[in-house]
Amino acid sequence: MLTRRDFLGTSLASLGAASLLAPRDLLALRPVAPRKILILGGTGFVGPYDVRRALERGHQVTIFNRGRSAPGMFGKDVEELAGDRAGDLSILKGRRWDVVIDESASLASAPEWVKNAAGVLRDQVDQYLFISTRSVYQDLSRVPMTKDAPVLTLENSPVAAGTPLPYGHAKAYAEKEALAAMPGRVTIVRPGLIVGPEDDTDRFTYWPVRIARGGDVLVPGDGSDHVQVIDVRDLANFCIRLAEDRTYGIFNGVGPQGGQPFRAVVEQIHRAVGGTGTYTWVDADFLRANGANPYGRELPMFQVMRGRTAGFARFDITPELAAGLTVRPMGETARDTLAWFRTLPAERQAAIKTGFTPERERELLAKWRAR
């Protein structure tokens, strides 16, 4: 445990250097009481960032998964426990951790997985940190959005009998299971689009890749629609901070405050990747009428800030910032994501999973100009 004297000592020793550092770097100077952290998952996209951040902060990490995706990923630094959330949690029994971070419950079975895991871990952990999603909100029309907006239920958004719970419903009910099993000891983080290096979905990556290519770039809307995403590294930093501070409650995982207009996002990416292109803003309704839907495969990350999605990327993140969320500049995320993408095999780069193909982009631009 860290004493008050240790804390003051660390703080004073850091003071000289601190004045030269950015607020985000100041966090690295926070003294930390080492925690025993169990991560359910840990070897996909987000989990490894949690693991690395926890190790960097001096915590002891155990991961629990089936050992299929990436066995031995962290070598001897991390304890690996093998089991299956669909049935076999026995290896977790009789152990003790300060906090469990649940990354891996995202399928229709999420409520059951959380119920079972929390049932086993209830008396073995102090804190259950559940990674949920912005998709739990039933009403995204509010401006600003906060965690108090209603979430999906089978009553407010019925699901046809016999069909599996959709993603948003599954996460919303999984949150309820955690809260019921460990009242007062649950932390819920609801991230928006999680982006950055190693994101295999390309939902953000398309933009730095496209902007770096230059030429005549189609950009959606009029530039005023907001974007609020989260860099995977900021999300991991936030989750580990919530564990260190034992902060309970519900938080959104998006940034920056209030979102930022698509035009500002494009400008930052342009500067960060050394863009040389020109930009043509194409009306969102025109794009929709031509088969390119907001948040669809061809228009990743873009959402229209009106009607049912007016608040989609306009969250007030005052409580999250107070709890320790830091948001790095979009340019940094873009530069690092592009650098990572360029390390991938040429065939993978050529097969980018989202955005317009060059032909489709040219065709839409020509049609827009000829209208």
- Given the rule CB under 6 A, which residues bind ligand NAP? 41-47, 65-69, 84-86, 103-104, 106, 131, 133, 191, 193-194
Minimum CB separation of residue 131 from ligand NAP in Å reads 4
CB of 192 to ligand NAP, least distance (A): 7
Distance CA 140, CA 246 (A): 29
Structure tokens at 371: 């209208």
Q: List all residues 6 or more positions away from 204 whose beta carbon is below 8 Å from its beta carbon.
A: 193, 195, 196, 229, 300, 301, 333, 337
Nearer to ligand NAP, 106 or 326 (CB): 106
- Kindly compute the dihedral angle of the four CA atoms of residues 321, 326, 328, 333, in this order, to the nearest 10 degrees: -110
User: Which C-beta is closer to ligand NAP: that of 92 or that of 364?
Assistant: 92
Q: Which is nearer to ligand NAP, 65 or 237 (CB)?
A: 65
CB of 173 to ligand NAP, least distance (A): 13
Q: Look at residue 294 and give its three-state secondary structure.
A: strand
Q: Nearest approach, Cβ of 43 to ligand NAP (angstroms)? A: 4
What minimum distance in Å lies between the beta carbon of 261 and ligand NAP? 21
Tell me whether residue 173 or residue 270 sits nearer to ligand NAP (CB atom). 173
SS3 352: coil
Collapsed DSSP state (helix, strand, coil) of residue 47: helix
Cα 370 → chain centroid: 39
Question: Whose Cβ is closer to ligand NAP: residue 292's or residue 301's?
Answer: 301
Closest contact distance (angstroms) between CB of 13 and ligand NAP is 35
User: Closer CB to ligand NAP, residue 105 or residue 218?
Assistant: 105
**Nearest approach, Cβ of 100 to ligand NAP (angstroms)?**
12
CA distances from 95 to 62, 184, 242, 302, 332 (A): 11, 21, 22, 44, 40
Q: Tell the smallest beta-carbon distance from residue 213 to ligand NAP (Å).
A: 24
Instruction: Give the residue with the Cβ less far from ligand NAP, 37 or 364.
Output: 37
DSSP 315: B
User: How far apart, in whole angstroms, are the C-alpha atoms of residue 360 and residue 345?
Assistant: 24
Report CA 65 to chain centroid distance, whole Å. Answer: 20
Token pair belonging to 251:
């938080």
Asked if 177 and 111 count as a contact pair (C-beta separation under 8 A), the reply is yes
Residue number with CB closer to ligand NAP (42 or 256): 42
The smaller minimum CB distance to ligand NAP, of residues 208 and 275, is found at 208
CA distance 148 to 129: 18
Instruction: Please tell me the distance from the alpha carbon of residue 70 to that of residue 83, in angstroms, as a whole number.
Output: 14
The answer to whether 58 and 32 are in contact (CB under 8 A) is yes
Question: What does the alpha-carbon distance between residue 259 and residue 262 come to, in Å, rounded to a whole number?
Answer: 9
CA distance 249 to 147: 10
Cα gap 118→242, rounded to integer Å: 18
> From the CB of 86, what's the least distance to ligand NAP, in Å?
5
User: Minimum CB separation from ligand NAP for residue 68, in Å?
Assistant: 4
CB nearer to ligand NAP: pick between 226 and 270: 226
